[in-house]
Amino acid sequence: MNATPYHSIPLVKGLPLVGNLPKFLRDPLGNAQSLAVHGNVVRSRTFFETVTLLGPDANQFVLHDREGNFTSRGGWAYWIDAVFPGAIMAMDDPQHKHHRRIMQGAFKRSAMERYVQDMGPVIADVLATWPTGAGHTLKVFPQIKALTLNIAARVFMGMALGAEADRMNQAFIDTVAASLALVRRPLPPLAMWRGVRARRWLVQLMRSRLAEKRATESPDLFSQLCHARSEDGERFSDHEVVNHMIFLMMAAHDTTTSTLTTMVYCLARQPEWQDRLRQDALALPEAQLRYADLAGCERTEWVMKEALRLYPPLTSIPRKAARDCEFGGFQIPKGTPVGISPIHTHHLPSLWTRPTEFDPERFSPGRAEHRRHAYGYLPFGGGAHLCIGQHFADMEVKSVLHQLLRRYRFGVPEGYRMPYQLVPIAKPRDGLPISLQAL
């Protein structure tokens, strides 16, 4: 059967000039669900005209992509090239495969064991400064953001907390903000200009440390990247190490901050789950989580998975058609911007029991709803670009939760609903005020 031409794909026009952009920014799930009313292949305009492919089969078609129908570079370059040049996520094969093989070396088990060991004391120091007390509320989102930046300064860069780490963290915030700037040209004093300037500073900082990181292998990710080798013995050049470091910090940061924030929110609203996870945390022998303890955090893992299902930090994943292809009976010509929507798939009643409910046990071995389709649950993407930091994120989230639950009880008032924005960056609009009591 011949596929229907591209121009027959249903088009959702949205508002004059801005199309669906405001709706996408305000409510990415509602936006995807309103597109789905027209089918699983729908055209709409956010920043430019894009074809959204919906559902788990569409996710598999785009991400599994053994035929090479899609380019990740084509999907991401517009967003990240200005401040994250040389990012692995915006590479295609064979370049991507080459870089991924080397980068894998910085995520091997021996390295991971040391990362988890190094993050423990940072978490303890930062959590000790969180203010507690009756009647006191703490806006926890900025605190979590500062915590994950400090973890990154230590574990990625090998830096101690202090003025230099603070400066790096600010440079880093400016760089990330630029990748999401609506005005894409570096005009002072706009976000892109600040981001380009901040990136220059970060590059200088990394370059000034390169010789030392190359000379001796240390436990931080920077040094591990300098020493990483593929099975064939290939290594990164200095230039590549710097580009990868800056991108890795961005890929790790907002995503982990978002995951921790949504987990704290869910646990604040569900005190019985908070108590269960606390019991598990207290049953482990050490105040700081060790690599060997990860397996004992099963219920924390269900809660993490459920928070990532309800609030995936990457609500959609962009690609561009690298050649003419077909999906759902429609032609997709080479060069078409294509997007898939993990957040939409994560709320499909055909895959999930009562999808809007917080129900971590859906991930238990007995129910395993995430296994109903290989591409039905994809907070970390899938295929060749599957998140390389998935286990790192898992360790960091579990390490923070472990210490937080052993130290504090937290809550939100009855009936509180977090006003959460997922785009352009995931954050609670009110900072997520919680009450915090020391145990």
Q: Name the residue nearer to ligand HEM (CB basis): 54 or 436.
A: 54
Q: Name the residue nearer to ligand HEM (CB basis): 11 or 388.
A: 388
Q: Name the residue nearer to ligand HEM (CB basis): 24 or 331.
A: 24
> Which residues are CB-neighbours of 282 under 8 A, at least 6 positions away?
405, 406
CA distance 300 to 397: 9
Tell me which residues touch ligand HEM (CB under 6 A). Answer: 72, 88-89, 100, 248, 251-252, 255-256, 259, 313-314, 317, 379-381, 385, 387-389, 392-393
CB of 291 to ligand HEM, least distance (A): 16
Q: Name the residue nearer to ligand HEM (CB basis): 106 or 332.
A: 106
CA distance 172 to 373: 37
Give the pair of three-digit tokens for residue 160. 């101690």
Give the pair of three-digit tokens for residue 177. 């903000």
Q: How many residues does the chain have?
A: 439
Residue with tokens 């040094």: 223
Task: With beta carbons less than 8 A apart as the criterion, state whether 256 and 397 touch.
Answer: yes
> Which residues are CB-neighbours of 300 under 8 A, at least 6 positions away?
277, 280, 281, 397, 398, 401, 402
Which contiguous run of DSSP H or E holds residue 307? helix 298-310
Q: Name the residue nearer to ligand HEM (CB basis): 65 or 174.
A: 65
Q: Name the residue nearer to ligand HEM (CB basis): 120 or 313.
A: 313
Burial class (CB within 10 angstroms; exposed 0-12, middle 13-18, buried 19+) of 192: buried
**What are the phi and psi torsion angles at 340 (to 5°)?**
-115, 165
Q: Which amino acid is at 127?
A: L
Q: Name the residue nearer to ligand HEM (CB basis): 352 or 435.
A: 352
CB of 95 to ligand HEM, least distance (A): 11
CA distance 388 to 96: 12
CB of 152 to ligand HEM, least distance (A): 9
CB of 179 to ligand HEM, least distance (A): 13
CB of 416 to ligand HEM, least distance (A): 24
CB of 311 to ligand HEM, least distance (A): 10
CB of 342 to ligand HEM, least distance (A): 7
